[in-house]
């Protein structure tokens, strides 16, 4: 069995913990959560089963740690992606693209499945962390409304529309036959969601305020149908 070595004990512990989390994520992605055991995680990580229990008491604790780790990683990517982008509709495009990429590479179980595995305290801890991510989207949508890029509406309903569209499109982009097709599907999904929220664009495709005189004619029926097929 391969050893996970590092210069110091602290570094070795961190490397071992990272190996466990990566192993859990790999199996979760390929097999899903049902039937997944700590022994599976240890074997895939190349370490002893006892070592896994030195870091995580049970599968529920491991699931929370993985979900928190993935959320923190995504938040870091999102903050970096949004840096320097001021227009909220362009920010929304970044959010959608990163979410599509993230959903395609990790398969966390849905909320009800996670709730059934976790203690109320663990589930609440996870929910508090996820709220930070939800606030990023809420702030983008609030800014888009305040700056008149989309019509006034309930932020929670708009967020549900965004995430509903994302969930249905992630698998489709993952199954794209080539990178060019995948990129086209992502761009169509971005525009489909933006326009579904009420955003409008000029002739160059730049977002414009709803009271602007620079509104371009919107997608013709053929283009609109193509976007719906790729994004739905």
Same domain for 51 and 164, yes or no, is no
Determine the pLDDT at residue 59: 87
**133, 71 contact by CB (below 8 A):** yes
Same domain for 48 and 149, yes or no, is no
Per-residue confidence at 1, pLDDT binned at 50, 70, 90?
A: very low
Average model confidence (pLDDT) for the chain? 83
Same domain for 46 and 105, yes or no, is no
In this structure, the dihedral spanned by the alpha carbons of residues 103, 65, 41 and 17, taken in order and rounded to 10 degrees, is 120
Whether 126 is covered by a domain: the verdict is yes
| pLDDT value at 130 more than 80 | no
Determine the pLDDT at residue 51: 93
Same domain for 118 and 168, yes or no, is yes
| pLDDT value at 75 more than 60 | yes
CA distance between the termini of the chain:
46
Q: How many independent structural domains does the chain possess?
A: 2
**57, 102 contact by CB (below 8 A):** no
Whether 61 is covered by a domain: the verdict is no
Domain range for residue 8? Answer: 1-56
Same domain for 128 and 168, yes or no, is yes
Same domain for 104 and 45, yes or no, is no
**215, 208 contact by CB (below 8 A):** yes
Backbone angles phi, psi at 126, to 5 degrees: -65, -40
Determine the pLDDT at residue 44: 95
Residue 142's Cβ-count burial label (10 Å; 0-12, 13-18, 19+) is: middle
- Over residues 53-72, the mean pLDDT reads 89
More confident: 230 or 160: 160
CA–CA gap between residue 11 and residue 227 (Å, rounded): 48
Q: What is the CATH number of the domain that holds 21?
A: 1.10.10.60
């Amino acid at each position: 069995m391969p050893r996970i070595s590092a210069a110091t004990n602290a570094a070795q512990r961190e490397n071992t913990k990272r190996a466990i989390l990566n192993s859990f994520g790999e199996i979760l992605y390929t097999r899903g959560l049902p039937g997944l055991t700590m022994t599976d995680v240890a074997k895939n990580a190349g370490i002893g089963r006892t070592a896994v229990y030195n870091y995580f008491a049970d599968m529920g604790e491991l699931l929370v740690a993985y979900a928190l780790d993935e959320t923190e990683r995504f938040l870091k990517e999102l903050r970096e992606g949004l840096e320097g982008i001021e227009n909220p509709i362009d920010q929304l495009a970044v959010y959608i693209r990163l979410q599509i990429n993230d959903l395609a590479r990790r398969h966390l179980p849905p909320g009800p499945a996670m709730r059934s595995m976790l203690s109320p305290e663990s589930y609440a801890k996870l929910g508090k962390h996820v709220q930070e991510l939800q606030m990023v989207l809420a702030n983008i949508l609030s800014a888009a409304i305040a700056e008149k890029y989309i019509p006034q509406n309930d932020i929670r309903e708009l967020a549900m529309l965004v995430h509903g569209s994302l969930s249905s499109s992630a698998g489709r982009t993952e199954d794209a036959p080539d990178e060019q097709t995948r990129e086209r599907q992502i761009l169509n999904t971005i525009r489909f969601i933006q326009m579904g929220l009420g955003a409008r664009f000029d002739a160059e495709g730049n977002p414009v305020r709803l009271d602007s005189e620079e509104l371009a004619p919107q997608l013709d029926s053929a283009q609109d149908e193509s976007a719906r097929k790729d994004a739905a």
